[in-house]
Amino acid sequence: MPDMTSRERIEAAIALKKPDRVPTAPLILQFAGRYGGITGEDYLFDAAKGQAAVEKTFYGLGGWDAWPLFVPIQGMALTMRPIKYRFPGRGLALDASYQVVEEPNMSIEDYDVIANDGYGTFFKRLHGKVYPEYTPEQLGPLRGKLKSEQLENIKRWADRGIPTISGAMTQLPIDDLIQYRSMNELAKDLFRRADKVAKAIEVMTPIVADAGKKGATGSGALGVWLGGLRSNSSFLSMKQFEKFVLPSLVTIVNALVEAGLVVYLHFDQDWTPNLPYLKELPKGRCILATDGTTDLVKAKEILGDRMCLMGDVPATLLTLGTPLEVEDYCRKRIETVGEGGGYILSSGCELPIDSKPENVKAMLESVEKYGR
């Protein structure tokens, strides 16, 4: 088989075909700042320095076939949503990883705001509560700047032959509610006011799908990131999953696929018991990206003829293991999950900020040794 381009490899894997070799697409975020020799604060808030660090990482470690997601000025991008963070240099050490501050900023009464006044009204109010330092007049230009930087980066890397999979970042409605309300409070709400939660999710679902379509269409990326953080069996019963997660998941994915977009399912925690439900999603149009917790071999058995699988080199192995251990893990994944195609080798979730560079290099080089 003649050598494919990186885009051809990625598209073949998504379509459940067998490319000339297994493609790679690690989720490179904060690791690039540390490898590039800049502070965490500079990586998250300085576009030029962040881009230079990313360039150094790509060329220093041998490159990869695609970006799952490119987030320029990631720190600023995170603050565009009503979720509180601590950042390096802004409450944390300069070389630290940012942290999510989990607290119930959303009140019980806000369910009625979503139901009666709309998700957009609620979102603006909550954002003003979490980030009072941002005026409404500032947010539009800031979002415009982030979008411009993102489009520029997608084009820059596409011109080099490296596609970006996700041109927009969305999340399952229940996971948004979990972050707005906190896991503890949302868990109680599922029992005490289940109808209010269900109504909020119903209102949010088409808006999430529309945001994904608007963000990715025309961006040059292949599709949309759809995150699932705590919407699986690690946190919810199957009955809760069927009521509060599955309908919105199917609706959002179908809407994005009908718009001609690929859906990158970035699913954290253990989705193994939930895997059969994913057979309801469109064939050959989704990527299931797991974090080392879901049984990826089991996923191959259940979903191998339905969707592309991505992952799942564990964070522990990349930070604490040796290059030989990483190489052996990748070889096994390539030989099992990669059998017959439909597989992209990647880090399990985000590449840890303190990954050993030699381990990352071993992961990337494994596809040339074992993936052809």
Query: How does pLDDT run across 217-239, given as a tens digit for each residue?
Result: 999 999 999 999 999 999 999 99
Enumerate the H helices of the chain as residue ranges.
Answer: 6-14, 30-35, 40-45, 47-61, 74-78, 110-117, 119-130, 136-159, 173-181, 183-192, 194-216, 238-244, 246-258, 296-303, 315-320, 323-336, 357-370
Q: What is the CATH number of the domain that holds 293?
A: 3.20.20.210
Asked if 53 and 32 touch (Cβ cutoff 8 Å), the reply is yes
Q: Is residue 43 part of a domain?
A: no
Nearest to 36, CA basis, from 50, 49, 53, 22: 53
Structure tokens at 211: 């945001």
- Strand (E) or helix (H) holding 171: strand 164-171
Q: Is residue 52 part of a domain?
A: no
Give residue-wise pLDDT tens across range 341-362: 999 999 999 999 999 999 999 9
Instruction: Kindly state the average pLDDT of the residues 238-249.
Output: 98
In total, how many domains does the chain have?
1
pLDDT at residue 197, rounded to an integer: 98
pLDDT at residue 212, rounded to an integer: 98
pLDDT at residue 136, rounded to an integer: 87
Structural domain of 203: 6-31+59-70+104-370
Rg (C-alpha) for the chain, rounded Å, is 20
Give residue-wise pLDDT tens across range 125-138: 999 999 999 998 99
Confidence tier at 2 by pLDDT (50, 70, 90): confident
Which residue in the block uniquely carries the two structure tokens 């599955």? 246
Q: Is residue 244 part of a domain?
A: yes
* Percentage of residues of the chain with pLDDT beyond 70: 100
Give residue-wise pLDDT tens across range 22-40: 999 999 999 999 999 999 9
Give residue-wise pLDDT tens across range 260-291: 999 999 999 999 999 999 999 999 999 999 99
Q: Is residue 336 part of a domain?
A: yes
Instruction: Kindly state the average pLDDT of the residues 53-66.
Output: 97
pTM as predicted: 0.97
Distance of CA 196 to CAs 160, 177, 201, Å?
48, 12, 9
Q: Is residue 338 part of a domain?
A: yes
DSSP label of 265: E
Q: Is residue 39 part of a domain?
A: no
pLDDT at residue 111, rounded to an integer: 98
Query: Is the pLDDT assigned to residue 1 strictly greater than 90?
Result: no
Give residue-wise pLDDT tens across range 326-343: 999 999 999 999 999 999
Asked if 310 and 325 touch (Cβ cutoff 8 Å), the reply is no
Assess whether the previous peptide bond of 312 is cis (omega < 30° from 0).
yes
DSSP 204-216: HHHHHHHHHHHHH
Instruction: Kindly state the average pLDDT of the residues 38-57.
Output: 96
Q: Is residue 14 part of a domain?
A: yes
Nearest to 288, CA basis, from 225, 211, 333, 246: 225
Sheet with strand 164-171: strands edge to edge: 67-69, 164-171, 223-228, 262-267, 286-290, 308-313, 343-347
Confidence tier at 118 by pLDDT (50, 70, 90): very high
Give residue-wise pLDDT tens across range 160-175: 999 999 999 999 999 9
- How far is 348 from 102, CA to CA, in rounded Å? 23
Distance of CA 70 to CAs 24, 114, 261, Å?
15, 30, 17
Instruction: Kindly state the average pLDDT of the residues 363-371.
Output: 98
pLDDT at residue 335, rounded to an integer: 97
